[in-house]
Amino acid sequence: MRRLLYGFIFFITFLMQISWFSQAFADELDVDVATLEFQPYVSEHLPENGWAWEVCSTVLTNMGYRPKLHIYPWARAVALVKQGQADALYLANINEERRKWAVFSNPIGDEISVVFKRKDFTANFTKLKDLADYKVGGLRDAHVVKVLETAGVDVYPVASLQQGFKLVFSGRLDMLVTDSLVGLHMLRTEMPADYPEVIDFISTPVDSSRLHLAISRKRPDHLQLQENFNRGLEQLRQSGVYSEILAKHGFLIRE
């Protein structure tokens, strides 16, 4: 009888260990990704939650993970990943402070700032200081505004990109500087229908910064997740699916 009891206890313990290991393995496959509402990159209000999230979720899913999107104010997203309460911060620029608590994937894409202008307004530049000859607007407190001001360009601050595009459309500003994809998305979805017919952008970058998946060092397998994500991202690019996702969302990259 005692042997049967010991055998039963051993069997129950064995089942509990299998269950624990299975749950631990399942938890390793979950990837909680924190980011901000940033159309058209990531948004709760866009198909597939935006092109950048579709890229990220496709890569993780292809590599056997279960990605979960969490959209917060940016400061909270950073804090959650830093504390290890979320696994990764998405659309993150690399800086030395973040390297202390995160490892970074290869770039998902580039945040490229350009100048938007009327198509009938002739303007070109080779150096940032050349833009000092024009009336240039930029979103108040934006990073790219500081870049231009450092180059000696006086930038007219606008409260919103909508305001900036209205000023360009009316000719009160020669140019508006902002991220190329953000600007294009706004012209197509939030401005009057004739705006995209009148306003275009100069493809020469004003500023660019690369966007990454920053994986919390507090996640035990962070280095393995980094390696797997990079391998999956390269496969996505090589297969042409990355370009297909961009095209599906209406973005064509001009070289």
How many structural domains does the chain have? 2
> Residue 26: its pLDDT value, please?
46
> Residue 96: its pLDDT value, please?
87
Backbone φ and ψ for 220, nearest 5 degrees, come out as: -55, -40
Q: Are residues 93 and 216 in the same domain?
A: yes
The whole-angstrom separation of Cα 203 and Cα 17 is: 59
pLDDT over 70 percentage in the chain: 87
Q: Are residues 116 and 205 in the same domain?
A: yes
Token pair for 219: 């996640």
The whole-angstrom separation of Cα 54 and Cα 246 is: 9
Token pair for 158: 């606008």
**Angle CA 79–83–87, to nearest 5:** 90
Residue 165 in any domain: the answer is yes
Q: What is the pTM of this model?
A: 0.69
Q: Are residues 240 and 178 in the same domain?
A: no
Q: Taking every pair of C-alpha atoms in the chain, what is the biggest distance, in angstroms?
A: 95
Token pair for 97: 């402070």
Asked whether the beta carbons of 144 and 178 are under 8 A apart, the reply is yes
DSSP β-bridge partners for residue 226: none
Residue pLDDT, tens place only, 12-67: 444 444 444 334 444 579 999 999 888 889 999 999 999 999 999 999 999 999 99
Residue 20 in any domain: the answer is no
DSSP β-bridge partners for residue 211: 109
Confidence of residue 153 (pLDDT cuts 50, 70, 90): very high
Q: Are residues 101 and 215 in the same domain?
A: yes
Residue 224 in any domain: the answer is yes
Q: Are residues 174 and 223 in the same domain?
A: no
Enclosing domain of residue 118? 112-209
> Residue 186: its pLDDT value, please?
87
> Residue 15: its pLDDT value, please?
42
